[in-house]
Structure 1
Amino acid sequence: MHSPIERLFSLFDQTAVILQEELRCTYLEAVAETGENFFYGDVLQEEVSELNRKRLKNEYRQIQLERFTNEEIRKAFQLAVLKGMKEHTQPHHQMTPDAVSLFLSYLVGKFMNRYFAFTIFDPAVGTANLLTAVLNHLPEKQVKSYGGDIDDLLMKVAYVNANLQKHSIHFFNQDSLQPLFVEPVDVVVCDLPIGYYPNDDNASRFILKAEKGHSYAHHLFIEQSVSYTKEGGYLFFLIPNSLFTSDQADKLHSFVKEYTVVQGLLQLPLSMFKNEQAAKSIFILQKKGSSVKPPKKALLAELPSFSNKQAMQGMMHKIDEWFTTEKQGL
């Protein structure tokens, strides 16, 4: 017996392969197309031959989406997307590891515990895997969500991904470092795009612009996110461990100190990364506001391997204790 995730992945995969040949497109483009077909229960592409049209419709009919949980749909779709991304070597086509997405979801839930309704924004939403993982773990909440990305294909994948999971996400296909049509939100989650930002003209608007040469995109994303967060709102960033040791770190440090309160820094297990240079941490900030009090002690920890259940339970217990002690008005 195949698991629900395997069955769904098999459907996405087999139908994407048919569409890839028919449409002469990449596998990732075909995944977006088949996801849309599956959602509508029809073959929307006119170029598809009559024979393959019948085959595809037959495949889509075999599986009722309603019988699967959102997490099963997200994980199955994610597997197909990951397969497609292996063909794409662009460095920004990297997906947040699943264990990290789930842990971030847990943290957002803890910090937003006393709120019933709130807004959330991911300015580098990619395929919306991280954002939908967070939404799937807040089923009792009313969450209005937004996602921005400059990559057209990833936006299409994100839109299909959200539809399949029945999440109403407002997407913006644009450079998220340009002015945004988003009201300030309660929560930002972002796996920061790392590297240099090529648009020096636009970068010049930012406090964290480089004095000379290109600015760091990840620094500008932090500043932009803080700008679009309400007073007292929370920001959850996946940052490189080298964030505060780079050549422009002093400026970033001053910015963080002036505009936010550091709530926590959780280092992800090094075993998750190919090398130490690629290692990341979860950085939790709260935007300053009249009622914001800094924690007596920030939540600082090195996370154990996510597969070590006993150590992870111990870590969750420590985090729970931190919330109890700090109260945070939560």
Structure 2
Amino acid sequence: MLFVKELEIKMQTYYDKLSQAVMLLQKALKTSYTDALAEALTDLANGEVYVENGAPDQDTVEKLKVIYDELKEINLSQTEMKQAITVNIISAQKLDKTEVNKLVTPDTIGLITSLIAYEILNAENVKNFNLVDPTIGTGNLLIEFVEQLKLAGDFKINIAGIDNDDISLGLAKAFTEVMNLNLSAYHQDGIADWQFTDVDMAIADLPVGYYPIDENASRFETKADEGHSYAHHLLIEQTMNSLNENGVGIFVVPSQIFQTDQAKKLSQWMVQNVYLQAVLDLPGNLFASKEAQKAVVILQKHGTKAQQSAKVLMGTIPNTNDPKLFEGFKNQVQDWAKKTFKG
């Protein structure tokens, strides 16, 4: 208990000191809290205070140097430091009144999706692969996913992220740098043609809503017959089209995705172009209401090593706080992966 209390104090201290640095930068740079947080994380990753056109001023620079030195003295593991930074991001989003689609994805979802990916990669006998998050946001899901995979096995992962919001993307880039991850960040519309190729796996918590640019949507099979198309449908199609043969897409989507007015177009596209390997509702305790409930959908691109699962993995993922039920779920995933994915 004493160790736990000491850890809580260290993490709280890290959070508080990082917050102090962010507030200093926000005032000096006259920017949003989120932008200031990205700046502070970049400073920490680079080991120096970045100054441009005299901002921040020298007095602020000296104060920041003291805080950054104090932060470096706090001995946190990678996992603990990530948790402390994530809380800072959540605070930033509250202060900046960030829209719902851009809010941090809970760590639990990163843990669950990484567990599924681990079993798939093991079944495929893959240790080195290229990973993308086409809607990276703050980077929390991608970082948690990668960190959990690295804890579970000896993987070499090249990571890329796409976002059309430069503030979110800047924060994601800074966050990954502090975590010693080398992110290739692309500021673009994820539904437009990607600026890179050679991607083996995708992980994404997809934003939900209508895509406003009908001209861009017109080239997709999942487009609506009339009116605006669902952005998450287009993103699924674009992502799967952009993966290598046999590539796997792990998507966090609304649980009702196959029951909407545009579900038929999505289903028709899936039947022709990908293998639907799993549909799993996430634990209900992660969401404020039934309407907000999300699921994990796992798709595989056609290829010489790809095959349709004899039995699509379906059901509700148990609460991670119930060890017995969750262990049973892990065994079920392992069995499904061995039968579905080939090395």
TM bracket, shorter-chain basis: over 0.9
Q: 1:125 aligned to 2:133?
A: no
Change (3 A) 1:274 1:199: same
Number of equivalences: 329
Q: 1:162 aligned to 2:176?
A: yes
Residue 329 of structure 1: aligned partner: 342
Residue 235 of structure 2: aligned partner: 221
Give the 4+ runs in structure 1 shifted more than 4 A.
none
Residue 272 of structure 1: aligned partner: 286
Asked if the contact 2:11–2:80 (Cα under 8 Å) also holds between the matched residues in 1, the reply is: yes
Tell me the distance in 2 between the aligned counterparts of 1:145 and 1:257: 29
Asked if the contact 1:184–1:227 (Cα under 8 Å) also holds between the matched residues in 2, the reply is: no
- One-letter code of the match for 1:90? E
Asked if the contact 1:109–1:137 (Cα under 8 Å) also holds between the matched residues in 2, the reply is: no
Tell me the distance in 2 between the aligned counterparts of 1:291 and 1:43: 49
Tell me the distance in 2 between the aligned counterparts of 1:261 and 1:64: 47
Residue 282 of structure 1: aligned partner: 296
Asked if the contact 1:234–1:286 (Cα under 8 Å) also holds between the matched residues in 2, the reply is: yes
SS in structure 2 opposite 1:282? strand
Residue 34 of structure 1: aligned partner: 40
Change (3 A) 1:258 1:54: same
> CA RMSD for the aligned pairs?
1.8
Asked if the contact 1:41–1:57 (Cα under 8 Å) also holds between the matched residues in 2, the reply is: no
Deviates more, 1:237-246 or 1:33-42: 33-42
Structure (1/2) with the larger helix percentage? 2
Tell me the distance in 2 between the aligned counterparts of 1:106 and 1:183: 25
SS in structure 2 opposite 1:218? helix
Q: Where in structure 2 are there 5+ consecutive unaligned residues?
A: 1-5
Residue 44 of structure 1: aligned partner: 50
Change (3 A) 1:149 1:127: same
Q: 1:10 aligned to 2:23?
A: no
Offset, 1:65: 7.8
Tell me the distance in 2 between the aligned counterparts of 1:30 and 1:201: 36
Q: 1:186 aligned to 2:200?
A: yes
Tell me the distance in 1 between the aligned counterparts of 2:225 and 2:180: 45
| TM value normalised by structure 2 | 0.91
- One-letter code of the match for 2:191? L
Deviates more, 1:286-295 or 1:171-180: 286-295
- One-letter code of the match for 1:75? Q
Deviates more, 1:220-229 or 1:64-73: 64-73
Tell me the distance in 2 between the aligned counterparts of 1:244 and 1:65: 50
Q: 2:328 aligns with which of 290, 298, 314?
A: 314
Offset, 1:73: 2.7
Q: 1:145 aligned to 2:159?
A: yes
Q: 2:270 aligns with which of 253, 256, 276?
A: 256
Deviates more, 1:101-110 or 1:214-223: 101-110
Q: For residues 242-268 of structure 1, what are the alpha-carbon distances to aligned partners after superposition, in whole Å with 9 as ceiling and x for unaligned?
A: 111111111100111111111111111
- One-letter code of the match for 2:324? Q
- One-letter code of the match for 2:105? T
Offset, 1:83: 0.6
| TM value normalised by structure 1 | 0.94
